[in-house]
Amino acid sequence: MKVKLWFSGMKFEHIFPLASGEVFGPNQPIALKLLGSERSFQALEGVAMELEDSLFPLLREVSISIDPYEVFQDAEWALLIGAKPRGPGIERAALLDINGQIFAEQGKTLNAVASRNVKVIVVGNPCNTNALICLKNAPNIPAKNFHALTRLDENRAKCQLALKAGVFYDKVSNVTIWGNHSTTQVPDFLNARINGIPVKEVIKDNKYLQEEFTEKVQKRGGVLIKKWGRSSAASTAVSIVDAIRSLVTPTPEGDWFSSGVYTNGNPYGIAEDIVFSMPCRSNGDGDYELVKDVIIDDFLRGRLKKTEAELLAEKRCVAHLTGEGNAFCDLPEDTMLPGEM
């Protein structure tokens, strides 16, 4: 198995859990191929040295390159992490275009040289639309194989529900993050459970659930930046591990996990041809199915429509990168998550 990662000179700590065997199990050898730029190459050399010096027993190969066609050759897993951060004066539409061009090239490369069944997890933001651009530029790879990382948002939602209910985190299940990885994301408390009991029967403060809980999850990253002075690192690495592990191990009976996936054929009435975070289950073979037995009430449906509208607007902004004609940007508002600024 070859795990391929693309970095842009940042957050190299995401690599180490993969090399340690935390994700694919104690018997699966790992080959790490790291893609960088000329600017980040020296840092990548240092990362490679650290990986070698850590003596991970399953790590069979560490190689680095600035040639994506070399790095992604026969890739079975591709983690696309690097993206240009949003700087002062950069409009959101401009960032969609800048990063979209990067992910269009990644898609073309994967389409040319990766395994036909490669699984792709897009972490670089705006991750939903970047994943859409990537899959549109990789027509020979099943669209279902592309994921946008929303697992950190799910983990944050579980944390808040556990704290409010006074239970350990592992007692919280069936949590879904719906929609975009932005402040329009919808943390779903309606279908979530604590100790197997619906959350609304455990936490009976509906105002808290609809307002404070939702806002805390949506803005958690921004609060962290204000407190710490930097965006999440360790928790993002954990969420990447969780996201991959959810695809390579069977989902516990009755539970599910969140991932931003292609909407074609979804059972929820979500617009097709976008990447939208939804509840998924896996039998552990790297594939997944969408969960059908979920409840969607009027409150949840209204929230879903807002995040859907944002993703459709983002899609129009990058039409020139998905082969769908000229781009037209009519983003309703700036809901970019902190960390992209």
Domain holding 283, by residue range, is: 150-310
Provide the Cα torsion 66, 72, 74, 79; round to 10°.
140
The gap from C-alpha 8 to its chain's centroid, in whole angstroms, comes to: 17
Q: Determine which of 13-22, 91-100, 146-155, 218-227 has the lowest per-residue pLDDT on average.
A: 13-22
Respond yes or no: is residue 147 known to be catalytic: no
In a domain, 318, yes or no: no
Q: How far apart are CA 109 and CA 330, in angstroms?
A: 30
Contact criterion met (CB below 8 Å) for 17 and 24? no
In a domain, 103, yes or no: yes
Do residue 29 and residue 157 come from a single domain? Answer: no
Contact criterion met (CB below 8 Å) for 294 and 255? no
Q: Which of 14, 147, 181, 320 is catalytic?
A: 181
Instruction: Select from 148, 179, 196 the last residue of a domain.
Output: 148
In a domain, 317, yes or no: no
- More confidently predicted of 171 and 340: 171
What are the angstrom distances between the C-alpha of 27 and each of 2, 18, 33, 248, 284?
A: 14, 13, 19, 13, 16
What are the angstrom distances between the C-alpha of 142 and each of 110, 114, 262, 278?
A: 12, 12, 10, 18
Residue 135 confidence (pLDDT): 98
Considering the entire predicted model, what is its pTM? Answer: 0.93
Residue 166 confidence (pLDDT): 97
Do residue 95 and residue 244 come from a single domain? Answer: no
Residue 161 confidence (pLDDT): 98
Mean pLDDT (whole number) for 220-226? 82
The SS3 of residue 60 is strand
As a whole-number percent, the residues of the chain with pLDDT over 90 amount to 66
- More confidently predicted of 146 and 37: 146
Instruction: Select from 133, 148, 163 the last residue of a domain.
Output: 148
Do residue 34 and residue 77 come from a single domain? Answer: yes
Do residue 215 and residue 243 come from a single domain? Answer: yes
pLDDT digits (tens, 9 = 90+) for 40-90: 888 889 988 999 999 999 998 888 999 999 999 999 999 998 777 766 667
As a whole-number percent, the residues of the chain with pLDDT over 70 amount to 91
pLDDT band at 27 (very low <50, low <70, confident <90, very high): confident
Do residue 157 and residue 214 come from a single domain? Answer: yes
Q: Is the pLDDT score of 206 beyond 80?
A: yes
Asked, as a colleague might, if the bond just before 126 is cis with ω within 30 of 0, I would say: yes
Do residue 44 and residue 156 come from a single domain? Answer: no
Structure-block tokens of residue 101: 């061009």
Q: Is the pLDDT score of 247 beyond 60?
A: yes
Do residue 143 and residue 154 come from a single domain? Answer: no
Indicate which CATH number applies to the domain containing 58: 3.40.50.720
